[in-house]
Amino acid sequence: MAVVMSLFIVSCGKKKEKLLDITVDPETMPTMITDNVSTLISDSGITRYKLIADLWEVYDKAKEPFWYFPKGFYLERFNEDYFIEATVLADTAWNFNKKKLWRLKGHVNVKNIVGDEFKSDELFWDQNAKKVYSEKLIEIKKANGLYLQGYGFTSNQEMTSYQIERPHDSRIPLKDDEETGAEAPLDSLQTLETN
């Protein structure tokens, strides 16, 4: 028995490990990957958001740390009574943590507290400046039935007060024709602002 044990120890002692030298690029290699995320986020100790994503990648060692949601992103914002007051949906999302800047890309759909719906291919949410903006086409269906559309969009972060820089094919009654009741056409060069 002692001979067998000594052979076992000797054979284990002579085993050589092969190690690979791998260089990791923090810009392309996430430090964390999470599947099927559903999490609550608080602001000043109060639960304000619910985030749902199929895949969440964290790049916190990158020069500009960010979160990446390559398979879609859904966010609900709660009021003080935990009722949903707004929703955000996008095919892809980035959160640049230090800048407090969100980039939402692909079939972006936002519904605000008053029921207005916003659709675009890309939106940015600057939390420091407390504004949402885009240079892409924006489509807005207001809760009262009005339809707005144009290029270049700036809004407060609640998306209740906004401005479309280049309105296009919007349906807004600006001045009624007294005889026919027809709506006056919107001047496509006019800046559109709502409150």
Q: What is the pLDDT of residues 113-141, one digit of tens each?
A: 999 999 999 999 999 999 999 999 999 99
Continuous segment of H or E residues that includes residue 80: none
Q: What is the pLDDT of residues 164-195, one digit of tens each?
A: 999 887 565 555 544 444 444 444 444 445 55
Domains of the chain: 29-194 (2.60.450.10)
Instruction: Indicate the pLDDT class of residue 70, thresholds 50, 70 and 90.
Output: very high
Q: For 180, what's the count of Cα atoms within 13 Å in the CB-facing half-sphere?
A: 5
pTM value is: 0.73
Phi-psi region of 188 (alpha: psi -120 to 50; beta: other; left: phi over 0): alpha
Distance CA 67, CA 174 (A): 43
